[in-house]
A = this chain, B = another copy of it.
Amino acid sequence: MPLVVVGSVALDSVETCTAKRENVLGGSAVYFAYAASYFTPVRLLGVVGEDWPPEHTNLLAQRNIDTSGLQVIPGAATFRWRGKYLKDMNVRETLEVRLNAMADCDPVLPETYRRCRYLFLANGSPTLQLKVLDQCPGTTLAVADTMDHWIVDQREELMELIRRIDGLVLNDSEARLLTGDDNLVRAGRAVQEWGPRFVVIKKGEHGAMFFSRHETYVLPAYPTAELVDPTGAGDSFAGGMMGYLAQCDSFEPKHLKEAMAYGILVASFTVEDFSLDRLRRIERDDLDRRMEEYRRMLSF
- A residues with CB within 8 A of B: 87-89, 182-186, 189, 203, 205-207, 209, 216-221, 223-225, 227, 254, 257-258, 261, 295, 297-300
Contacts and interface: CB of A to CB of B under 8 A. Distances in A.
Contacts of A219: 220, 298
A203 B221 CA distance: 13
A104 to B, nearest CB: 38
Chain A facing B: main interface SS: mixed
A203 B207 CA distance: 12
A88 B218 contact: no
Nearest to A187: B225
Contacts of A261: 300
Name the residue in A205, A220, A258 with the highest tally of chain B Cβ atoms < 10 Å from its Cβ: A220
Nearest to A186: B225
25 contacts: A87-B182, A88-B182, A183-B225, A184-B205, A184-B223, A185-B223, A185-B224, A185-B225, A189-B225, A206-B206, A206-B207, A206-B220, A207-B218, A216-B223, A217-B223, A218-B221, A218-B223, A218-B297, A219-B220, A219-B298, A220-B220, A258-B300, A261-B300, A295-B300, A299-B299
Contacts of A225: 183, 185-186, 189
Given A87-B182, A206-B220, A207-B218, 10 more contacts: A184-B205, A185-B224, A185-B225, A206-B207, A217-B223, A217-B297, A218-B220, A257-B300, A261-B300, A298-B299
A299 to B, nearest CB: 6
A261 B220 CA distance: 13
Contacts of A189: 225
A232 to B, nearest CB: 18
A227 B181 CA distance: 12
Contacts of A221: 218
A147 to B, nearest CB: 19
Nearest to A300: B257
